Amino acid sequence: MSGERRPTMAVWKFASCDGCQLTLLDCEDELLPLAGQLDIRYFLEATSAAGPGPYDLSLVEGSVTTPQDAERIQHIRSVSRHLVTIGACATAGGIQALRDFADVEEYLSIVYAQPAYIDTLAHSTAISRNVPVDFELRGCPIDRGQLIEVITAFLSGRRPHIPDHSVCFACKRRGIVCLPVANGTPCLGPVTHAGCGALCPAYGRGCYGCFGPSASVNMPAFIPLLHRDGMSDTDVTRVLRTFNATAPEFADASGAPPAPAQPEAPDPPEES
């Protein structure tokens, strides 16, 4: 019996749009075969059955934005053997991290007539800023093929094969004409993590960086190219401050103040 035990998996959600966990349900051809190899114990979006941990694999979507969530992620880490973040929110704070560049009190007053009813942190932090993370899968949203690679790698006990080079590599491999070179179209491809398959260039559009920074980026050399292709300083700041605004390379290049050394978790987590 124990020799046939399927690894247990849980899928968790923090502040996000659900798009990354939905990617799992979008694996139409692979969904049922995958589900046969895993014991999906906790996945609120897909099942109302909630089984106890510990979990061999936890997939975490979303960023930490509330005092309660800062505690919840500590608990999830303590019941998870492997913790993998899925998506730009979990890996880089997500679009909701735009609050980090603003006054959250002012944000509250814009959206809510009664800001006092709302409990939120001034920052939106990546999961790795709260707890140790075993692997980070990038993208807003993540790529279906990469997600399947991460899960199958986990099932076979190896490291996922997710290259950390830039979108440019994927573009060259697909034989797409370089948009900045051929048309002067501003494109974040040179500094953006691969994973989408160079989707935007394939549609004639400059990359807007939704997978966040790639492994080695040289922003001081790159930004003048964006200027050359017609982007103003404001445009550059805007494009860097969207879905991966607090990824360190993008944040630095957009002139962000340094992020807090520690996210404002209210209390030390209890060991459980």
Partner 1 sequence: MTHRGSRVLHVGALSRVEGEGELRLRVDGARITEARLRIYEPPRFFEAFLRGRAHTEPPDITARVCGICPVAYQMSSCQAIEDVCGVAVTGQLAALRRLLYCGEWIESQTLHIHLLHAPDFLGHSGAIEMARHHRPHVERGLRIKQAGNAIVELLGGRAIHPINVKLGGFHRVPTRTELGPLAERLRRAREDAWHTVEWVAGFDFPDAGADEEFLALAQPGTYAMDSGIPTAMAAPSSAGLSPESSRALPTRAFPVRDFERHVAEYQVPGSTALYSSLDGKRHLTGPLARYAISGRWLSTVAREAAHAAGLGDPRHGTVCRNPFRSILVRAVEVVHALEEALRLVTDYSAPAVPSLPVPPRAGTGYGATEAPRGLLYHRYVLDAQGTITDAALIPPTAQNQSAIEEHLRHVAQSFLDRHPDPDDEQLRLLCERAIRNHDPCISCSAHFLDLTVERH
Report whether 249 contacts 217 (CB < 8 A): yes
89 vs 217, which CB is nearer to partner 1? 89
94 vs 212, which CB is nearer to partner 1? 94
- Least Å distance between CB 142 and partner 1? 9
- Least Å distance between CB 127 and partner 1? 14
* DSSP H or E run through 58: strand 55-61
9 vs 221, which CB is nearer to partner 1? 9
- Least Å distance between CB 218 and partner 1? 25
Q: How far is CA 94 from the centre of its chain?
A: 7
**Structure token pair of residue 34:** 């995958």
133 vs 198, which CB is nearer to partner 1? 198
Q: What gap in Å lies between CA 17 and CA 15, rounded to an integer?
A: 7
Give the phi and the psi of residue 28 in degrees, each rounded to 5: -55, -50
- Least Å distance between CB 103 and partner 1? 10
Interface with partner 1 (CB under 8 A): 13-23, 25-26, 28-29, 31-32, 35, 40, 43-50, 65-66, 68-69, 94-96, 98-99, 102, 104, 106-108, 110-114, 117-118, 120, 140-141, 196, 199-200, 202-205, 208, 210, 235, 238, 242-243
* DSSP H or E run through 76: helix 67-78
91 vs 96, which CB is nearer to partner 1? 96
- Least Å distance between CB 203 and partner 1? 4
Give the phi and the psi of residue 125 in degrees, each rounded to 5: -110, 145
218 vs 232, which CB is nearer to partner 1? 232
Report whether 174 contacts 194 (CB < 8 A): no
- Least Å distance between CB 158 and partner 1? 25
> Residue 64 has what DSSP assignment?
B
Rg (CA), the chain: 20
Q: What gap in Å lies between CA 132 and CA 84, rounded to an integer?
A: 10
